[in-house]
Structure 1
Amino acid sequence: MTTKLGDRLAALWRIIRTVTGDDAYERYLEHWREHHADEGVPLSRKAFYRAELQRRWSSVRRCC
């Protein structure tokens, strides 16, 4: 019974991290390993989040 509860809590925690974007760096590393491993080294966690902030907030996002 404890294992089932533990598994459910772990699954819930993964869902929460995905919805909030907390696992973005881990997903980036997974993607990088699958598609870009021969291109050098991946971004550090700090560089990744800096690039994400730049991507999100560098352009104007309004209707007019």
Structure 2
Amino acid sequence: MRRLVRAIGAGGARLRWFCRELFGDAKYERYVAHLRVAHPDAPVPDVRTFWREHYAEQDRNPGARCC
């Protein structure tokens, strides 16, 4: 029974990770981690500012997007 509960928990954790990566929820956390390592003196933007700048950059440089 414990194995089953652990397996379900592990599957749920994997599903959560997949969904966060798919929808981009982890981008801000990765960006903050990068800033703290590569630029420790730089101010860390709040979440709203990060996403505003992220989408503005996508609009300036659409890359391989279809729209």
* TM-score using structure 2 length: 0.73
Identity of aligned residues (%): 26
Structure 1 stretches of 5 or more lacking a match? Answer: none
CA RMSD of aligned residues (A): 2.0
Distance 2:53 2:12 in 1: 32
Equivalent residue in structure 2 for 1:51, among 50, 53, 56: 53
Greater relative contact order (CA < 8 Å, ≥ 6 in sequence): 1
| TM superposition shift of 1:38 | 2.4
Structure 2 stretches of 5 or more lacking a match? Answer: none
Please give the residue correspondences for 1:6-21 in structure 2 after superposition, counting only pairs within 5 Å: 6-21=9-24
1:34 corresponds to: 37
